[in-house]
Structure 1
Amino acid sequence: MGRAEVRKAQQQRGARRAPSGRAQGTEGSGSTGKRTGIRRFFTWKKILGTFFGLALLGMGALVALYFYVEEPDPNKQALQQSNVYKYSDGTIMASKGKVNREILAIDKIPMDVQEAFIAIENKSFRNDQGVDFKGLARGLWNTATGRGKAGGSTITQQYVKNYYLTQDQTASRKLKELVISLKVDQRMKKPEILAGYLNTSYFGRGAYGIQAAAQAYYGVDVGQLTLEQGAYLATLVQAPSQYDWSTASDDTKKRIMIRYNATFVNMVENGKLDEAKRQTLKFAEPIPPQPPMGMDGQKGYLVQAAEAELNAQGVERKLIDAGGWTFTLNIDPKKQEALEKAVQDELESKLDRKDTKGKPQDQSVQAGATSVDPKTGAIVAMYGGTSLKDHWSSNALRKDYQPGSTFKPIVLASALENGAKTQDGKPITPNALYDGTSKRPVVGSDIPFAPQNQEDRNFGTPMMTVQEATNFSVNSVYAQMIVDVEPRNVKKTALALGMKDREGWPEDKPAMSLGTMSANTVEMAGVYATFDNHGKKVTPTIIKKAEHKDREVAPAQPVGSQAISRKTADTVTKVLTGVVNDEGGSGNKVRSSAYEAAGKTGTTENNVSGWFSGFTPELVTVVAIFGEEPVTAKQVTLTGTAGLGRLGGSSFPASIWKAYTLAVLKGNAGKFQLSEAEMGAVQTPSRSASPTPSTSPSSSSPTASTSPTQSPTTSPSPTATKTAPTSPAPTTTTSPSPTATKTGGPKPPDPPLVPER
């Protein structure tokens, strides 16, 4: 049998045995026959072909996705920022906004802090294309198999997730993240991406972004972070709620230290840290969690003042509320603390605010104050009220009360500036003579006015100087003076000094001399600061610097040109030193050997407010108290507050002013430089010095006064000062006239609690 036949016979036998063998054999029997059933689909060639086909399909899908998926708009939360408010020394005062975040440029973040985040989060960040495909595959597998959240994200991917997408851990979101990351890496520079990542990451404790994190965990701005502190924040960002050192368990702290030390090891491997230095680094333990930097105490009022000033500069409310601002205020934290303590010690500690029935006036008292550096115009301290929860609007800014007699120095300034003369043709100077009889009708006005002096007291026998009238705040003298100057001229001077022309300001009424227009403590502080600054206009400002990454606001110019001449300003200042130094002066309560001071008290109609505006060469401070019914907000009298009688500027406001000024100056006060002050020649009364008053009835005081030279008085009238003639003048009083004081001013009889209006 030939070979061909043998082979044919073998094949025939094999074919006959095949059915039996399949029936009896098992898998893996070593049969060399053809594959049958499902096995025929799993050849190596087919498997490899399928793999490469799917790979090509996947690559095609990625390419399609790359062109299909566009960069979306940023999510709203990623853009939300808080506004940060700082004291003048740079310390954080408050943060306000829905999201505690302050977006910074990358150059504001220390380089070694940047490198710490790169080392632990994405070592290849500076060289990759925005995506780590190995890490991505591992993350997708973990997500698909339920083994936890996807990992392996680069810094670029985390930035994209925070800035454009959501925190959902889904395959579709991950694919979008991948595509957008590739596009972002092509479009943006690495420093920009890193800044975006650091500004959008959540660090726990309500802190979004590294600036808020630096403040929350170390109480500093990001620029002050050390490498060790930055390394902890880089450690923290992986699991903020777990890795907060203050609440972490012992096991968690061990994990924190492993990741913390790995940061330095990776920095060494990246060539960003010397091994020798690494050995010296120690863990920077964060501070305990702090309460939110809110609007407690005076902070809310200071924020109100800052935002009001911005509004006045033309910055719209919506731009402020959008966040992202860093405001550095002129507020000196030490002076602010001293002002708050002065109010507490001199006013609040003496009130019973809990007894709403027995002491209703104690519930009605509101205090406000503004303190200004006259050389710079900076508002260095401000008091707005007990707290926002008790009184929402700031008492320092309120404009619904009149300044009272603190307006009188403006009348004098206008008289000096305009070269005004009395009714008998003599120049109005501090030594000019006026009749101080209470209810004396003014002369020369079309509008009748005969104001009553405090306690209806008569001054002048028969005449008194302007200096004396200022010391004792004599209404009848200043009512006549404003007529002599003309009210419209006084208004011009007031506006030039910084007061605001609000609706209802009287243009021609003599009553304006008593401060019948509205004003706030900031305005009056500006007026008195202008006197203190030798006539150069001072506009008090609370904002030292306003910064925002998208816009700029030019700082205000608080000190301007001459509003009034130096001669006028210095003369007014010298007169106001008499108010403080004269033993009978209305401002005598603030006198101290620790400083040289000038000032003026003020008490308004029906005793609804009391003011003290005072200054030293270094500091101008205006303190006011207001009577406000807590429920209706109606103006009510202060009389009876703290169990006392009538209250005015010489009561609580003067006490607060003195306590504060002593605390902040601490014996370092200077002397006024008043070389240009001109008190004027000593005048003698003439027969026409006290002209016949108008017989027209007064709208404010229907009782007509008798002739000033014949008017009886129930208390002795002060005699002339050393600068005035000392010849005796007749008086019908039965009590002897008081003698001159050490400062040259006459001492009136024992005054009531507030010897001025």
Structure 2
Amino acid sequence: MSGTAASPSPPPTRSRPFRALRAVFRPTRVLLALSLLSLAVLIFLGWCLIRVPVGGGMAPEASPASLILEARDGTAFAARGNLRGEPIPPDAIPRPLMDAVVAIEDRRFFDHNGIDLRGITRAMFRNVFSDRTEGASTITQQLARLLYLSQERSIIRKTQEAMLALWLETRLSKEEILARYLNAAYFGAGATGADAAARRYFGKPATELNLAEAAMLAGLVRAPSALAPTRNPEGARRRAELVLSVMEETGRATPEQVAAARAAPPALRTPPEMLPGRGYIADWVEAEARRLVGPIPIDLAVRSTLDPALQDLAERVVARWLDREGEKQKAGQAALLAITHDGAVLAAVGGRDYATSQFNRITQARRQPGSLFKIFTYAAALENGARPDSNVVDRPVQIGDWAPGNASGGFRGPMTLRQAFAGSVNTVAVQLFQSLGRERVLDTARRMGLRSTMPEGPSIALGSGETTLLEMVSAFASIPDNRVVEPYVVRGVRARDRSLYTRPEVPAQGGRVLSPEAQQGMLDLLLAVVREGTGRAARLDRPVAGKTGTTQDNRDAWFIGITADAIVGVWVGNDDNSPMNGVTGGGLPARIWHDFMVEADRVKTAEAPLPEAAPATTAEAPRQVAPLRGPARVIDTATLRIGNRAVQLAGVIGMRGEYAESMEAFIAGREVTCMPVGDGAHRCTLGDRDLSEVVLSNGGGRAAADAPAELRGYEAEARRERLGVWRR
């Protein structure tokens, strides 16, 4: 072997075939990855596509008629429902509105195909480097979302939005897209669509909008609930300023036009956000209006009977007394209803807090009326021949296992019917109910307006059945005018182009509820309750006829009072029917009633001036004496005051005191017509009743020496019956 060392072997190398395979598979791997990615994108897009809601439609869904609710003086106080307005056709889009919406929502609307990549880039830049927050959705994308999609923020929804936007751009012209967007967008305060918003905020159709108004509407679209002028007028104004600035920046308005718009900001003609306390009567008015006109799918205006000043007053008085005494007396709720003598609802407080509970304790709460029910028993007794001075006895009564007692715990023995009613003596009411019979009393109650079904058993004589404050106020209202009075809250309903309902100015007169003697007797009894009985806390400086009611364990307390101006009822209690701490009808309810009436006198409108006598048409024609007409107040039973004039009833010598109070309650502030008959005397009529006849036939005065024979005959009849001044 030679001594030479062997050379080292070279490092192993990969064979050429493997290098070739690697070169082949590298692009294949990339291609495979791209294919898989594309497949995933296609699957995602397909998934988004199949999840698009079907049947979204290309127009806003129909909705029930929206309502603008107006008080009796025409001022709007609430809006209900979703206002729709009139659809704006593509060829009639108001230019100021088009320019304002395009400028603030999608400045390149007429240049893109549904998705604005340049706008997306610009929005991203401004959102990062400036204080202004700007969205990137086009008007077409917003329309797609409005018509088909939810407000969910997700990648799936955004993808669906983009796909639908591209599809809409192939199906509709730009003008059609913009018109449908303006008709579908929500502008706040219940207004869907630009025309509804224009009518809601400015009292005009969208076609009449000026630049300042259009800028304000355009600014609402992004945050309608937060920026609605009814809720946030300052925010709406600032947003409108921004819209005008963008319009000038994008050339959609000239500097001169913008300056003019800023110099004349829009004047709102719209009700503010509804005050919470008015929710009860708003619900009532809405339900009644829809019942009267039916399902008409157009925007409506409803003229109600509401007196805004009295409504505000009623809410304040109820809240004040519950805040002061509610916790101490364990009284959680109260309701107040005030109506005119023809039934128009002036104020309605259905509970302590509408925001907490929308349950209306005037129309929906069925509670025991307690001693209020006695008006039906006593009215039936008067119709059966009893008189306010008839003798009755307060004594123990036993009917089966039931032995009713009095609130005082004792028995007073002999008394008059007037004293028993004024003191709300239970035993006398039960005796009368038993002697008259259930059917006779309930028949009288139904004639007076009670609609609720009463339970069996004698305890209904003390109000153990259930009824509503609305029914009881209606029943009391039947007494002064002696006819059924149906409370109402709607005077008229109109669409933009026509009247759909108008309440007759003079409702049809029904038959008499009670005999004239029973009616006068009931007024006598009701006046005694406030003058000397359980309702003394409700006394005013003028006649008040009323009745208290309290149920077992003080679970319900009522007071309903009648004056020349109104009938007002108050209920106090708890929704869970738990007992109150000694609250009676003559306590908290009567005090609420008193304060409401005293303060209402300060807000009453002045009486209208009386018409003057018309002159004769020719010199030869005899002079025609015009009758004197107007609401009447009683000085004494022979003297009325109409406006600033004192009027003497012919043939009557008047009386003051309780007789004048009874006559005041009978007239109840209604219009009296008086014709002069000589020597300063007048024959006055109320409806079809001659007041001289009414006074003398009820013993409210004496016949004058010069009284005609017919009036002397009425006096003689009252004397035989020992009525009024002849009862002594």
- What per-residue deviation string (whole Å, max 9, x for no partner) do you get for residues 542-583 of structure 1? 34456789999867889552361572674155224522553x
Deviation of 1:522 (Å): 0.9
Which amino acid letter does the alignment assign opposite residue 402 of structure 1? Q
The 1:199–1:371 alpha-carbon spacing in structure 2 relative to 1, beyond 3 Å, is farther
Q: What amino acid is aligned across from residue 345 of structure 2 in structure 1?
A: I
Output aligned runs, 1:112-151, within 5 Å.
114=94, 116-118=96-98, 136=110, 138-139=112-113, 142-143=116-117
Alignment-derived partner of residue 579 in structure 2: 637
CA–CA distance in structure 1, aligned partners of residues 261 and 137 of structure 2: 32
Task: Say whether 1:647 aligns with 2:583.
Answer: yes
Partner of 1:256: 244
Which position in structure 2 is the counterpart of 1:201? 185
Which of 384, 406, 426 is equivalent to 2:350? 384
Give secondary structure in 2 for the equivalent of 1:340.
helix
Seen in structure 2, the aligned counterparts of structure 1 residues 116 and 605 have a Cα distance that, compared at 3 Å, is same
Separation in 2, partners of 1:626, 1:251: 48
Q: Is the 8 A contact 1:402 1:604 kept in 2?
A: yes
2:252 matches 1:302: no
Q: Which residue of 1 aligns with 2:11?
A: none
Query: Does the alignment pair 1:591 with 2:546?
Result: no
1:717 counterpart residue number: none
Q: How does 1:373-522 map to 2 (within 5 A)?
A: 373-375=340-342, 377-388=343-354, 390-391=356-357, 393-416=359-382, 419-420=383-384, 427-431=385-389, 433-440=390-397, 451-459=404-412, 462-464=414-416, 466-502=417-453, 504-506=454-456, 509-522=457-470
> Which residue does 1:612 correspond to in 2?
559
Q: Counterpart in 2 of 1:526?
A: 474
Structure 1 pair 209–337 and aligned structure 2 pair: CA distance change class (3 A): same
Cα displacement (A) at 1:488: 0.8
CA offsets per residue over residues 130-183 of structure 1, 9 Å max, x none?
Answer: xx9x965544584499657999979xx997985578896866534543455469
| CA–CA distance in structure 2, aligned partners of residues 252 and 531 of structure 1 | 58
Local SS of the residue matching 1:488:
helix
Counterpart residue identity of residue 460, structure 2: M
Deviations 1:401-452, CA, capped at 9 Å, x for gaps: 2111112222233344xx42xxxxxx22333x2323232458xxxx787532
The structure with higher relative contact order (CA 8 Å, sep 6+) is 1
* 1:301 maps to amino acid: Y
Q: Does 1:335 align with 2:310?
A: yes
Change (3 A) 1:324 1:589: same
Alignment of 1:217-366 (within 5 A): 221-222=203-204, 227=210, 229-236=212-219, 246=234, 253=241, 256-257=244-245, 259=247, 282-284=263-265, 293=273, 297-306=276-285, 309=288, 329-351=304-326, 353=327, 361-362=329-330, 364-366=331-333
Structure-1 separation of matches of 2:243 and 2:358: 47
CA distance in 2, matches of 1:537, 1:263: 68
Shift of 1:651: 0.5
Cα distance change of structure 1 residues 663 and 209 upon mapping to structure 2, 3 Å threshold? farther
Number of aligned residues: 538
Provide the aligned C-alpha RMSD in A.
5.4
How much does 1:331 deviate?
Answer: 2.7
Contact 1:568 1:677 in 2 (8 A): no
TM-score by length of 1: 0.57
Deviates more, 1:173-182 or 1:77-86: 77-86
Aligned to 1:663: 599
Can you give the 5+ residue segments of structure 2 that lack an aligned partner in the other structure?
A: 1-53, 123-134, 152-157, 607-630, 634-663, 668-690, 701-721
Partner of 1:703: none
Measured after TM superposition, the shift of residue 613 of structure 1 is 0.7
3-state secondary structure, aligned to 1:536: coil
Which structure has the larger Rg over C-alpha atoms? 1
Check the 8 A contact 1:90/1:328 in 2, yes or no.
Answer: yes
Name whichever structure is richer in strand by fraction.
Answer: 2
2:164 to 157, 170, 173: 173
What letter matches 1:201 in structure 2? A
Note if contact 2:276-2:354 (Cα within 8 Å) is conserved in structure 1.
yes
Residues 202/510 of structure 1: CA separation in 2 closer, same or farther (3 Å cut) = closer
Match of 2:571 in 1: 624
Residue of structure 2 equivalent to 1:45: none
CA contact (8 A) 1:368 1:623 kept: yes
Query: Are 1:403 and 1:516, in contact at CA under 8 Å, matched by a contact in 2?
Result: yes
2:704 maps to what in 1?
none
| Percent pairwise identity | 21
Q: CA deviation at 1:657?
A: 0.5
**Secondary structure in 2 matching 1:298:** helix
The alpha-carbon distance between structure 1 residues 73 and 389, as it changes in their structure 2 partners (threshold 3 A), is closer
The answer to whether the 8 Å contact 1:87/1:333 transfers is no
Given that residues 86 and 196 in structure 2 are in contact (C-alpha distance below 8 angstroms), is that contact kept between their aligned partners in structure 1? no
Give the TM-score of the pair, scaled to structure 2.
Answer: 0.59
Q: Structure 1 residues 492 and 247, CA, compared in 2 at 3 Å: closer, same or farther?
A: closer
Residues 531, 145 of structure 1: alpha-carbon distance in 2 compared, 3 angstrom cutoff: closer
Contact 1:210 1:222 in 2 (8 A): no
SS in structure 2 opposite 1:397? coil
Match of 1:105 in 2: 86
Q: Distance in 1 between matches of 2:438 and 2:115?
A: 86
